[in-house]
Amino acid sequence: MKINRFMIAAPKSGSGKTMITCALLQLLKDSGKNVLSYKCGPDYIDPMFHKKVLGVPSKNLDTFFTDEKTTVQLFLDERADGDFAVLEGVMGLYDGLGGIYEQGSSYHLAKVTQTPIILVVDAKGMGKSVLALIAGFLQYDTHHLIKGVLLNRMSKGYYDIIKPLIEKELSVKVVGYFPEQKDIGLSSRHLGLVMPDELSDIKKQLNETADRLKKTIDMDLFIDIAEAADEIGDSGSADAYNEKNIGNCDQNEFLQNKAINTVNIAVAMDEAFCFYYEDNLRMLEKCGAKLQYFSPLHDTRLPKDCDAMLLGGGYPELYAKELSKNVSMLNAIKKAFRVGMPTVAECGGFMYLHTYIRNICDDTDEQNKADVQNKADIQNKADIQNDMNKSKLVGALDGGCHFKGKLVRFGYIELAEKHSNFLPPNEKIKAHEFHYYDSTDNGADCIATKPATGRSYDCVISHDNYWLGFPHLYYPSNPHFAESLVRKAYEYRRNKNGKLL
């Protein structure tokens, strides 16, 4: 299949990849290209910015989550000859698993998908040293995928001087530069960038960025690099992927007649809950589910006739007060959970099911420094303050979630159930964790293993119809998980209606 494509990568995080990617997406869209976007790695927020530009979902690709062949098939799924794809890298170009392995890196994804790379270099504060940096990245590029360099935060005057030097000494094209933009930029918080819908002028910012970038880059050179990309896979690759990973669903008893037996899965989607992989949602649909989106913040009840709940991650801690005031929705979810409705809750969704969230750090400097005589008084004051910072939530799970003031868990894991429930015996599903809150009960029904170190620990509450925990799952790493959720939803509906097949 002929997909015109390039990857925007960088030597490190914070180099401007997302802003430049979004500006390029806008310029390509304006030129009439059928543009698609992808994000390398386990990231939810950058794809939201892509979608804000293109109006269609962006997909994640990750060579830790899926093997090389499956990654290519996911890349080609629902794509057509002549499409134009922009892939945004993650962290530094060569930063992979554990920070030392190629697997999971932007470079590995570019190699697997045979995608040319444009290296975005934050050149602020650098002179000729930028050549040494670029030379090092070119030396590491064993597959010769770096086809161009973009110099970010560089003045026009110095660009005119340094560009011919780079091209002469390093034999790599310089595709343009982008001066420092003090009046536009994307804000960050503890889990990454602020979400686009939180920025009232985000469309204006993205359009303005695109207009400015257009004046300082060679857009024709970007297009030439993309069009020179080799053909990848074949026209049957995506179909082969669907047949391999989803085909078994069609053989299942509960999907023999999809028109009759389609189940409804209620998916929490609003400002507080919005972290979902596009391929996870599509996989549920391919297994026979109809997705019904609802808002725990704004709706008062679950969607009519839903047969399962999917509560994804997000920022419930930022909306804890508002969520706690929506008593009707809290009660509806608690009731549905208590009567056995199949439920998958990840990270923020898992936090939401607790009795409360406390948005204050448990371990204050004041408490740590206090002497024994004063600790009792300080603790009493802290308890009062903590109660003021508690927000009551669903209460389907006892206990609460507490802000820890630092990362509790971070990075890739593989999950194995101690007793088969959502997965076949002895199988695993891949996931990642990234959270500053901790639960009074993280569960112990699964074993999480860190792939780079082999370290393992217990996590996840999983019994009968529910799977609840902090890990963010990637269904294509084991499609049986999606199939199990749909099957459980069908069994729940069948029992609810008192009907047998």
Which residue type occupies 175? V
* Residue 97: DSSP 8-state: G
180 and 16 Cβ atoms separated by less than 8 Å:
no
User: Pairing relation of β-strands 263-268 and 313-314?
Assistant: unpaired
What stretches of 238-371 adopt beta strand conformation (E)? 263-268, 273-275, 289-294, 308-311, 313-314, 343-346, 356-358
Give the Cα separation of 191 and 421 in Å (integer): 30
DSSP 276-305: --HHHHHHHHHTTEEEEEE-TTT-SSPPTT
Outline where DSSP puts E strands in 16-154. Answer: 35-40, 59-61, 84-88, 117-122, 146-152
Beta-carbon contacts of residue 220 (< 8 Å; ≥ 6 apart): none
Q: Residue 448: which residues within 8 A CB-CB, separation 6 or more?
A: 413, 414, 415, 431, 433, 456, 457, 458, 459, 460, 471
Single-letter amino acid, residue 416: A
Q: Which phi and psi angles does 234 have, rounded to 5°?
A: -150, 175
User: In whole angstroms, what is the distance from residue 166 CA to residue 168 CA?
Assistant: 6
The whole-angstrom separation of Cα 327 and Cα 32 is: 48
State the Cα–Cα distance between residues 376 and 57, nearest whole angstrom: 53
SS3 167: helix
Q: Which residues lie below 8 Å from residue 175, measured CB to CB, with a gap of 6+?
A: 118, 148, 149, 150, 217, 218, 221, 222, 225
What is the C-alpha to C-alpha distance for residues 149 and 146, in angstroms, rounded to an integer? 8
Q: Position of tokens 């993205």?
A: 206
**401 catalytic, yes or no?**
no
Candidate list 306, 347, 401, 446, residue with the active-site label: 347
- Alpha helices by DSSP H, listed for 31-105, are 45-54, 68-76
Task: Give which of 449, 418, 406 is closest to 431, Cα–Cα.
Answer: 449
Q: Which residues pair with 266 in a beta bridge?
A: 292, 309
129-140 helix and 156-170 helix, angle to the nearest 10 degrees: 40
| CA pair distance 70, 77, nearest whole angstrom | 10
Task: State in Å, rounded, how far the first CA of the chain is from the last one.
Answer: 42
Residues with catalytic roles = 347
